[in-house]
Amino acid sequence: MENQTLKEIGFFSRVHGFKGKLVLSVPNEFIKIINLKTTIWIESSGIKSPFKITQIQPLKKGKIILEMLNINHEKAQSLIKKKVFINANDFTAIENPLNKGDFILEYEIYNQENQLIGVISDHIKIKNNELIQTFINGTEVLLPFKKENIIEINHSKKMVKTQIPEGLLDIYLD
């Protein structure tokens, strides 16, 4: 792969644990691009080599934990402070909207009839049951955030349109 097709996104700041996981320091706007389908390229001795991501964990703002194929603790230590790149085409590719859950905070949420429900105040990640939190008249409402429920995510308008199961809002508001 030619260098001009790769874009630097960050660097490995430290090892996480003893199984070869690394902490990637990356600007927040790039975090949404990184997923299990992304191939990252690591520069070592002037040569960029590809690596397959096997696990991603959020850590804190500007940092994520990556586990990569065939990287043990010793190899991970040798990658500290190494630059990380991804294919420039990945910046234009839009992935599953669920990968962007943390980037929809403060977006308005609408139901399937285009009625404003509220503003998204939190994205709650529960295995196999992601939720978004909003408040209606001071009452907390948790809505499912699944791929099959999402009708539209419009980042320019900061809005999410979702299919809300019939009767769900009544449970919270009655």
- Same domain, residue pair 128 and 48: no
pLDDT tens-digit series, residues 104-159:
778 899 999 999 999 988 888 887 888 888 998 888 999 998 888 888 888 778 88
pLDDT tens-digit series, residues 12-55:
999 998 889 999 998 877 777 788 888 899 988 888 999 999 99
Query: What pTM did the predictor assign?
Result: 0.50
Of 68, 91, 114, the residue that ends a domain is: 91
Return the pLDDT at 93: 43
Q: Do 85 and 8 contact (CB within 8 A), yes or no?
A: yes
- Same domain, residue pair 19 and 50: yes
